[in-house]
A = this chain, B = another copy of it.
Amino acid sequence: MVKIAIDMMGGDNAPNIVIEAVKQAIHDFKDLEILLFGDENKCDFKHERVKFTHTDEVITMDDEPVRSIKRKKNASMVLAAKSVKDGLAEACVSAGNTGALMSSGLFIVGRIKGIERPALVATFPTVTGKGFVFLDIGANSDAKPEHLVQYAKMGEIYAKQIRGIDKPSLALLNIGTEESKGNAQTKKTYQLLKEENFENFIGNVEPKTLLLDASDVVVSDGYNGNMVLKTIEGTATGIFKMMKDVMTASPINKLAALTLKKDFGSIKDKLDYAEYGGSVLLGLNGIVVKAHGSSNERAFYNAIKQAKLAADTKIIDKMTKAVGDING
């Protein structure tokens, strides 16, 4: 039996989409037990494998991360993280305040010994639908080259365990492919990555080939990773908006668009984060999954599924061992 703690109150569409996702997950996975934290007046779903803990304290999107988790000790997110810390659950999932969830991970769940900075990892969609493992996408804005080497190690394990890729290719996000390209940080990181014995380090990868399956794992500092992530989202949104304008510009266009609508929809689906579950805060002594703030039911369900897979594959044990190998 895998036990997962869930913050019912986090995210733009909570608690409804959370409850629906929990229902679905409980139905699909017979070896799943859920510890649900939230307002009992807002949930009428009962199941023998769902253990409800009532709290009416909530961390909002506007709360200051570190302060809020210290003050709101009974917030649904804090209680979910605490159940991981106490060994009552193997993983926790929340769509709430990202900073607060990262702080909960750091200060409540705690780091793996030897990991200096946890990293936020996500499987990011590509044009073919294959996707790639991308980290750090926003946990630490100021990272050192040594931190990026740890991210690489964690990303490699994640790709193997969660995505089932044998000998995943590993690349460093950079503005050029040549070894000499980039800023002081990427140049130093490149050298360190070369010195480590990664199975399949393929060098630098440029953002323009990211969506074309350039590498199975792509490593970046959190500032750049987050920047690139938001740029991809922003560009896609902008182009889809222009496409929509074209497709509704005239009656003839509307008619032609009817034929293509479904297939164009599949483009959007391919680039949809909802298919890939949430981001995982790697480097902690427990699994902490961040579902997108505007998650729908499907996205939250995939985040639960991802947490379960991480628990099933004993990713924390493997991460802990690997970090020992890095440092020893």
Contacts and interface: CB of A to CB of B under 8 A. Distances in A.
A234 B211 contact: yes
Interface in A236-260: 236-239, 241-243, 246-247, 249, 252-253, 255-260
Contacts of A270: 242
Nearest to A271: B239
A175 B227 contact: yes
Given A141-B175, A223-B175, A260 B246 contact: yes
Sort chain A's interface into a size bin.
35 or more
A207 B184 contact: no
Given A223-B175, A238-B212, A253-B259, A232 B230 contact: no
A206 interface: yes
A233 interface: yes
A260 B263 contact: no
As for how many copies of this chain the complex holds, the number is: 2
A59 B102 CA distance: 50
A226 interface: yes
A46 to B, nearest CB: 40
A253 B243 contact: no
A228 interface: yes
A259 B210 CA distance: 32
CB-based closest 10 A-B pairs: A208-B234, A256-B259, A141-B183, A207-B231, A211-B238, A235-B235, A231-B231, A256-B256, A246-B263, A183-B223
Interface of A: 126-127, 138, 141-142, 173, 175, 182-184, 186, 206-212, 223-224, 226-228, 230-239, 241-243, 246-247, 249, 252-253, 255-260, 263-264, 266-267, 270-271
30 contacts: A126-B238, A127-B241, A138-B175, A141-B183, A175-B223, A175-B226, A175-B227, A183-B223, A207-B231, A208-B231, A208-B237, A211-B235, A211-B238, A212-B238, A227-B227, A227-B228, A239-B267, A239-B271, A242-B267, A243-B264, A246-B266, A246-B267, A249-B263, A252-B259, A253-B263, A256-B256, A256-B257, A256-B258, A256-B259, A257-B260
